[in-house]
Amino acid sequence: MTHETSLAIQALRYEAADDSQLSRFVVSRAATNSVLGILLHWYLYTEFQDPAFGRRAAKVHEAFQAAAAAAGHVRRA
C-alpha cells in the first residue's frame, strides 16, 4: 500500500458529504483489495465514537461492508 492510499483514507474525514466521490472510490478499491479493506475497516471502526466524524465513519463503513459482500469477500451477519 502506498502513502497516497493512506492519505486518501484519512482525507475522508474532511469531505463535504458522506457519499463523496472520494468515499465511493476508496470503498470500491477496499472492497476488492484485502490489505486496503483491512486498513479502511480499522480506520473507520476506531473513529465511530468521534463526535465530529463518527456518523460519517459508520456510513462509509456500512457502504464498505455492502460493497465487500457484493464482491464476495465477506459474509454479512
Give the mean pLDDT of the chain.
Answer: 89
- The CATH number linked to 19 is 1.25.40.70
Number of domains composing the chain: 1
* SS3 call for 56: helix
Q: Is residue 28 part of a domain?
A: yes
Q: Is residue 54 part of a domain?
A: yes
CB 1 within 8 A of CB 36: yes
pLDDT band with cut points at 50, 70 and 90 for residue 77: low
**What's the predicted TM-score (pTM) here?**
0.85
Give the domain extent around 65.
Answer: 3-70
pLDDT digits (tens, 9 = 90+) for 33-66: 999 999 999 999 999 999 999 999 999 999 999 9
Number of other CB atoms surrounding residue 30 within 10 Å: 27
For 22, the grid coordinates are 472520494
Q: Is residue 42 part of a domain?
A: yes
Q: What is the largest CA-CA distance in the chain?
A: 32
Q: Is residue 76 part of a domain?
A: no
pLDDT band with cut points at 50, 70 and 90 for residue 5: confident
